[in-house]
Chain A
Amino acid sequence: MSVKIVTAPFDPQDELQQYQKQLRPGCFGAMTSFVGTLRDFNNDSTVLSMQLEHYPGMTEKQLDAIAKMAKTQWQLEATLLVHRVGKIRIGEPIVLTVAWATHRDAAFAGCRYLIDKLKTDAPFWKKEQLNNGTRWVSNNT
């Protein structure tokens, strides 16, 4: 189980592979990952970049709790959560969630839980840079 808050661009595939190397070969039979990236539009506006703020300390606690709950609920072998903060450019990854499990059902469900719960419980806030100023994102769709 690993939780990382990163301030610089990250490569989701590299993060996934590096973590998976630490797992015992054969201890899982399925892996599901989700990557969220910054798109260049939102609510009919062109987005130029995004500032991502968080609550240091509480963020890590919430992500740890989410990972533990997922692991227990679906008997996951391992989980990985990586979330970017700071200034994010178009196309860059924002978040990576990965679940390793014995079978695919648990891997899919666990990964889905990780990202869905992160979006409601982990204290992150997005502020978009638009052509005509900045705008706080007000919902977590």
Chain B
Amino acid sequence: MTVTVKFFARLREDMNIENMSLDIPVPTDARSVWAAATGRKMPEYDIFCAINQAHAHLDHMVNDGDEVAFFPQITGG
């Protein structure tokens, strides 16, 4: 299956990836998408995830065509 992967803020800079299209076997969760997209361990600071623009846990399953986003602590307002 194919998913779109996005990185934001500090994470985008640290991983040096903004967005990508990723072919990955099913079934898979967001944590596996991270591993396939970056090939790296997660950084020591907290990482959050969204699937199809809704907050999700890293163990949430991902489906074909999904948009998976990774980002650090939200700091707006």
Contacts and interface: CB of A to CB of B under 8 A. Distances in A.
B60 interface: no
B16 interface: no
B3 interface: no
Nearest to B14: A136
Given A58-B53, A125-B72, A138-B45, A94 B9 contact: no
A126 B8 CA distance: 11
How many chain A residues sit at the interface, stated as a range, is 20 to 34
A120 interface: yes
Nearest to B69: A55
Given A53-B8, A53-B9, A58-B50, A123 B71 contact: yes
Contacts of A125: 8-10, 71-72, 74-76
A140 B53 CA distance: 20
B50 A54 contact: no
5 contacts: A53-B8, A83-B77, A95-B77, A138-B75, A140-B77
Interface of B: 6, 8-10, 45, 50, 53-55, 69, 71-77
